[in-house]
Amino acid sequence: MKVSTLALLAVPATAFSQIFSPLSNLLSLTPQQDDISLIVTDDNSLPLKVTSADKFKLKRSGVNFIDITDHETWFWSQKDTPSKVPVYNYPTNVTSSEFVTDLIEEINKDNLRFNLAQFSSFFSRYYKSENGLKSATWLFHKLTSIIEEAKQSNPDLQVSISQFQHKWQQFSIIVSVKGQETPDDIVVVGCHQDSTNLLFPTLLKAPGADDDGSGVTTNLEALRILLSSSQFQPSNTMEFHFYSAEEGGLLGSMDIFRAYNEEGKKVVAMLQQDMTGYIQKTLDNAVEEHVGVITDFVSPQLTQFVKLIIDSYLAIPYHETECGYACSDHSSALKNGYPSSFIIESEFKYTNPYIHSTGDTLDRLDFDHIREFVKLVLGYVGELKDHKFKVLGYNEVS
């Protein structure tokens, strides 16, 4: 049966959910009009109208989604014309091992612990809360101090920091190191800064030490090391993104990558760091310590390059794993036509069971494991900073 876009938008929220979604039994029956969002839970279903409470119910049930409320026109246009994601000539062997190895020697686990202790000390980093704004402000000042210190030893570095404002309180942050030869080729390292407690998001603590304080800490330390190196003068533009509102349905990263797409920006690679510190469940199951490499809803060719970095620079191997639709901010990049990849602390079945609760705390994490992910970022940036990107073809994303 064919249903027009206008007809769909005219359907009441509850009827919309009950007609089109097998998830309807989870959703609110009396939504308030000022609290309705439009979400998608997979590539083949129609959007759902849901409330904020519905969102938490879905996430508690393990259902990921993208909130397209502010990008509805884009969603329907993509249905007619799916995005084509370029396939680039990613390196098939490493060429910057001396540079990367020297950087790896500078990793400081005390920095990792201190930064994560500070960042996870906020009552919550919920993106709609005052503490969400305060934590973003702390992170912005931390990044600014890293940049200012680096400029003293590397004054020729063209690095900038900016706040990307959204309609909610917590802003996203972008640190950009301008490329000296091909500045239009942008390499992105991402993570999300918000946290949430899925039981009572506005009442209970959400330290978010692993989700995603560990990813933020990983990228902070990698960025500090890169910027302090006098040899770091990249040909391509290197960006570190700290997204707001991932837990609300990839809201922050979708705003950013929609803006990039509309501005015609060229992102040639995006690596997402979301949860890098928990290994206890892996050890309890007598499985070797490893990096989880996500293989679904990613760019296969870029993911193959990430495997090369792990094999070349890390002390632990990778295990392939899947995490489903819209499970982190790499999905926003891919949906907007940019190649993306995602790695996580382990195979998905061994990841941290305490996330989205008061129990996602610093004491449950392993900083030697986080150190391996810092190595990964350093290797990824080190090998792509001067790479000459060429388009080999395209992958279609529905």
Please give the positions annotated as active site: 192, 211, 246-247, 274, 356
Q: DSSP alpha helices (H): ranges in 180-329?
A: 215-228, 251-263, 280-284, 300-313
- Whole-angstrom CA distances from 64 to 23, 41, 329 are 12, 6, 11
Strands 291-294 and 236-243: unpaired
Query: d(Cα 385, Cα 383) in Å, to the nearest integer?
Result: 6
DSSP state at residue 214: I
Strands 266-273 and 318-321: unpaired
Give how far the C-alpha of residue 187 lies from the chain's centroid of Cα atoms, to the nearest Å. 14
| CA dihedral sign, ordered 322, 325, 329, 335 | positive
Query: d(Cα 366, Cα 273) in Å, to the nearest integer?
Result: 16
Query: d(Cα 55, Cα 49) in Å, to the nearest integer?
Result: 10
Q: Are the beta carbons of 156 and 177 closer than 8 angstroms?
A: no
Among 12, 62, 59, smallest CA distance to 36 is for 12
Burial class of residue 80 (count of CB atoms within 10 Å of its CB; 0-12, 13-18, 19+):
exposed
Tokens of 263: 């501005």
Tokens of 25: 């039994």
Tokens of 230: 């006098």
In the chain, the amino acid numbered 238 is: M
Q: Which helix (H) or strand (E) holds 159?
A: strand 159-164
Tokens 């049930």 sit at which residue? 61
Query: d(Cα 231, Cα 62) in Å, to the nearest integer?
Result: 44
Other C-beta atoms lying within 10 Å of the C-beta of residue 395: 15
Q: DSSP alpha helices (H): ranges in the chain?
A: 5-10, 13-20, 52-60, 72-80, 97-104, 109-119, 130-153, 215-228, 251-263, 280-284, 300-313, 330-335, 367-384
Tokens of 295: 């293989």
